[in-house]
Structures are given as structure tokens and as C-alpha cells.
Structure 1
Amino acid sequence: MKRVFITGGNGDIGSSIVEIFKINGYEVVSPNSKELDLRDSKLIKEYFNHNNNFDIFIHCAGINNPSIIEDLDFNNIKETMQINTFSFYEILKTLIPYQKINGGYILAISSIYGQISRAGRTAYAMSKHALIGLIKTAAIELGKYNIKVNALSPGFVDTNLTRKNNNDEKIKIINESIPLGGIAKPTDIANVSYFLCSEKNTYITGQDITVDGGFICGGFQK
């Protein structure tokens, strides 16, 4: 049975990803923030010291605390970068020795804000742009071991985080701006995640797959 490690598995998108892998017979390990605090690099290293035999790693954990640059506290940037980007690097590094022998799949759930940005999203956009750069480098270095490394960048998804950062009026405008007619469901993201980390994916690596209903290809111009 293949083993999957998923961060952020208790969130809206993460729980959908956990569910689809369980349904398809994978052993899923997805600790909550109390079991594995991604803000603590030492704890991350200790957690994986004797437990790194995962065939698949999906990084779904992430935070987004909007603030314009003038008001942005540097601690906000550090925490956002640690959880969204640095912890992914730290976990990836611990899993490489096992996957070098057996091959594997690495997937980071990024965001369209790793490609574009928006006022008030400085820390978040920084973290996601950096994540995409790391994905591309890892794909180049690990391809010879049959380790496929990709990012998946959702647009707007019906999650608690989206509702927290956008009022009803903004949600309505966003819905009307998406060519496919509305924001995604968490299962839309989970389905693509499953494909990218399954044996169906035989030749995709180093890519940032956008799942946004057509928003950034021009839908936002409506």
C-alpha cells in the first residue's frame, strides 16, 4: 500500500485531498498542527527522523493574513513564508532519500497568487512565488530518480479562508468574473491533485497547474 503524507489535511481543500486518497486505497498520514507544528523547523526534522517512507507528499498547509505593504509586520512575512514555503522545503528534504530509491510524487498546493498578485497579498504572494521556484528546481534535480514534482495553483475555492478574506459582495463579483461560472469546490482541487500524484501521471513534472475556471486567462477583465 502506498503511503501519502499531507499537510493541512484538516482544511477544506486538504480534507478533500485526504478523502480521495483514502477512497482509492492509499495509507494517508496527515497530522494536525498540534501533532506537527510547521512553524518549528526542529520539530519537523524530529518528526521525519525515523518516518520518511512516503511515496507521495502533498503540501496543502497555508496561511494568508492580508495586509498592505505600509502596514505589514515583518513577523507576518516570516510566519507566512515558514508555513507556506520553508516547511515544504524542510519536509521535501527529509523525504528525498526514500523517494530516490523508489520514485515518488511531490505536490505543493500553491495559488494563482504565485503567478499574479493583488493589493494586500504581499506576504502570501511572496510565499507562493517562491514555492513555484522551488518546485521547478526540485523537478530538475529529482527527475533522474523518477520523482515527479509539481504545483497546483487553485483560483478562488469555496473555503473558510476565501470567505474570511472576501465579503459577500466580493464573492459575487468573483463568481461573475470566472468563465466557468463560479468559484471551485474543494473536490475540484482534490481531483486534479489525485491525478498528478497517481500512476496516471507518467510524464508531468516541474509544472504549475492552474485550476481557476479560467479566471486569470482574462475572466477578471469582465
Structure 2
Amino acid sequence: MAQKLALVTGAARGIGLATTKLFLQNLWQVAMIDRDAEALSQAASSLDGTMPIVADVSDPDQVDDMVKAVMSKFGRIDAVVNNAGIAEFGPIEQHDFAVWRRVMETNLDGVFLVSQASIPALRESRGAIVNIASISGLRASTLRVAYGTSKAGVIHLTKQQAAELGEYGIRANCVCPGPVRTKLAMAVHTPEIIAAYHDAIPLNRYGSEEEIAQVIFFLCSDKASYVTGQVIASDGGFECTGVGLPALRKSD
């Protein structure tokens, strides 16, 4: 049987890189897509079985060229992981239209464009789409009007894909990470913010990039062959609890 191929966007770092490594560990090949050429080259340099491609997922022409390059080299796409995204936080009244569009172009338009371009290959493989949204797409929070709205759009887009592409055997699911211990998060989260998150998360900790990758890989694998149209929060219970949990906890 031919080796399977996963196309992972935002693959140069974070969840995308962790997911790439997990696919490789499970003997998949990976097309690593990112617009940061330097970071992508560095990430891919030590990974066998990958094809790094510099592309901006918000640009239709670049997306089309990227998918053609993947098909030319591998001849197949078995899974698409739409992970590329940007975050710009700030008060709602200070989010001008330029910021709004910049976030939407990558976070929502990019998911649409990459998925659309990959449909013919996914029909052949009866493959899977996994879109990476966020807990911010499930629950509103301060400073995230563009980011949260873009991720809510990704959630609905996933359901639309599942409804329409199921007849071709294509599955579409969505993963919503909660707070994840990335280098970026740890650089900008103060001790007070970290403590507040820990208080609000039933598991009392941030997740890891590898933990999110495990959920993504499962949804791309044959073990999830009857799972489609689902939105899975990988968040330590953050979304389900809401306000008030810290005060209700029992102390030892």
C-alpha cells in the first residue's frame, strides 16, 4: 500500500510542527506548508519524509500552486490539516477593518481555499479534513473579536464540509484547542494570567502541542472512520465549566 500523505498548514512551529512529527512517527509523509520560509526550512531540515512548501494560505494562486506541487510529487493527499492562523488581540473598538480582514484572510479564508483546492485529491483517497479552530470560537472572551469570530466561522465551515463532502467519503472535523503551552504563549502570559487559566481549567494546567496533535492525528486516521462533522474541544475542560469553578473546588 502506498504511503499516505498529510498536508499540514502552519507547519513550521507549534501545533503544526508537533502534528507533522506525529504523522511521520506513524509512517505518513507530510507536505509542510508555511509562509515563514526561514522557520519552515529550519523545521523541515531534520525531518525525513517531508516536503516543505512556502505558501500563504490566504492567496488563492499560491494555494493552487501549492496543491499542484504536492500532487506532482506525491500523487495523493489523504489528509488536510488546516492549522495556519494568526492572532491579533485588542479591544473591540480598536479593531479596525484592516486588522479584521488580516485575521479573516488567514484564519477563515485560508481554511476555505486549502480545503477547496484539495477536494479532488481527497475524493480519490476518501480522505479527511481537520480544521483547527479554538476555544475562542466556542466561547466569547475579551480582546478577541476578530480572532474568535474567525474561529467560529471555521467551526461552521467544518460542519458544512462534512454535510456536503460526506457523499464522497471525505470526513471533516474540527479541533478547538484551549490554552496551550507554546513558546509564544509563555512569553506573553504573565504569572497572573497563567494562574487565572489554571484556576478556570478543571485539569489545572495548559495543554501541550503534542496533546493537540494526538487528537488531530486520530481524526485523520482510520480509527475515526465514522467520525465527521464533529467539533472537539481539546482544552482540559475549559469550555464546559464557565465561571465559578475555582470557588467550588474542594481543598485538601
TM-score, length-normalised on structure 2?
0.84
How much has 1:204 moved relative to structure 2? 0.7
Corresponding residue for residue 50 of structure 2: none
Ranked by relative contact order (alpha carbons within 8 Å, sequence separation 6 or more), the top structure is 1
After superposing on structure 2, the runs of 4+ consecutive aligned residues of structure 1 that deviate more than 6 Å are none
In structure 2, which of residues 117, 123, 147 is the aligned counterpart of residue 94 of structure 1?
Answer: 117
Alignment deviations for residues 39-87 of structure 1 (CA, whole Å, 9 cap, x no partner): 3222112222353431100011111110111111211111111111111
- State the AA in 2 paired with 1:191: Q
Corresponding residue for residue 163 of structure 1: 186
State whether residues 133 and 151 of structure 2, in contact with CA within 8 Å, keep that contact through their aligned partners in structure 1.
yes
State whether residues 31 and 70 of structure 2, in contact with CA within 8 Å, keep that contact through their aligned partners in structure 1.
no
- State the AA in 2 paired with 1:43: Q
Alignment deviations for residues 9-64 of structure 1 (CA, whole Å, 9 cap, x no partner): 11211111011000110001103314112232221122223534311000111111
| CA 1:123–1:165: 2 relative to 1, 3 Å | farther
Please, which moves more after superposition, 37-46 or 52-61?
Answer: 37-46
In structure 1, which of residues 8, 11, 19 is the aligned counterpart of residue 10 of structure 2?
Answer: 8
State the identity %: 32
- State the AA in 2 paired with 1:61: A
| Ranges in structure 1 where 5+ consecutive residues have no aligned partner | none
- State the AA in 2 paired with 1:160: K
Is residue 25 of structure 1 aligned with residue 27 of structure 2? yes
Please, which moves more after superposition, 167-176 or 21-30?
Answer: 167-176
How much has 1:165 moved relative to structure 2? 4.8
Corresponding residue for residue 60 of structure 2: 41
Q: In 2, Cα distance between the equivalents of 1:85 and 1:20?
A: 25
Q: In 1, Cα distance between the equivalents of 2:221 and 2:100?
A: 34
Please, which moves more after superposition, 154-163 or 203-212?
Answer: 154-163
SS of the residue corresponding to residue 30 of structure 1 reads strand
Corresponding residue for residue 43 of structure 2: none
How much has 1:217 moved relative to structure 2? 1.1
- State the AA in 1 paired with 2:90: S
Q: In 2, Cα distance between the equivalents of 1:124 and 1:195?
A: 26
Please, which moves more after superposition, 150-159 or 98-107?
Answer: 98-107
Q: In 1, Cα distance between the equivalents of 2:221 and 2:230?
A: 15
Corresponding residue for residue 60 of structure 1: 83
How much has 1:220 moved relative to structure 2? 4.4
RMSD between superposed Cα atoms in Å: 1.4
How much has 1:168 moved relative to structure 2? 2.0
State whether residues 138 and 239 of structure 2, in contact with CA within 8 Å, keep that contact through their aligned partners in structure 1.
no
Report which of the two structures shows the higher radius of gyration computed on alpha carbons.
2
State whether residues 179 and 219 of structure 1, in contact with CA within 8 Å, keep that contact through their aligned partners in structure 2.
no
| Ranges in structure 2 where 5+ consecutive residues have no aligned partner | 38-53, 247-252
TM-score, length-normalised on structure 1?
0.95
May I ask how many residue pairs the two structures share in their alignment?
A: 222
